[in-house]
Amino acid sequence: MRSSILKVVIALTLLLGWLAVQPMLSETLVVTSLAGYQGSNNGSILQVDTSTNTITTILSIGGNPDSVVFAPNNTLIFSLPNQSGIGVYNTVTQDLNYFHGNLFQPLDLALDPSGTSVLVADSGNSNGPAGLKRIDLTQQFPIPTIVASGFGDIDGITYDNKGNFYAVVDGRWVEQLDPITGALIKRIECAYCVYYLDELDGITYDPGTDSLWVSDTVWNGIWKIPVNLSSSTLYASGKIGYPDGIESDGAGNIFVAARTGQIFEYNIANNTTTGLTMVPGLDDLAPLIGRGSPNYSPSVPEPASFVLVGAGLLALARKARKT
**Is the Cα dihedral 280, 246, 47, 269 positive or negative?**
positive
Q: Report pLDDT for 318.
A: 30
Give Cα separations from 106 to 229, 241, 283 (angstroms): 25, 24, 14
Count other Cβ atoms within 10 Å, centred on residue 103. 25
Residues in the chain: 323
Helix (H, G, I), strand (E, B) or coil at 82: helix
Domain boundaries, the chain: 1-24+302-323, 25-294
Q: What is the pLDDT of residues 212-260, one digit of tens each?
A: 999 999 899 999 999 999 988 999 999 999 999 999 999 999 999 999 9
CATH H-level, domain 25-294: superfamily:
TolB, C-terminal domain (2.120.10.30)
Sheet holding 165-169, edge to edge: 154-159, 165-169, 173-177, 184-189
Q: What is the pLDDT of residues 126-179, one digit of tens each?
A: 889 999 999 999 988 888 999 999 999 999 999 999 999 999 999 889 999 999
Q: What is the pLDDT of residues 60-92, one digit of tens each?
A: 987 889 999 999 989 999 999 999 999 999 999
What's phi and psi for 165, nearest 5 deg? -120, 135
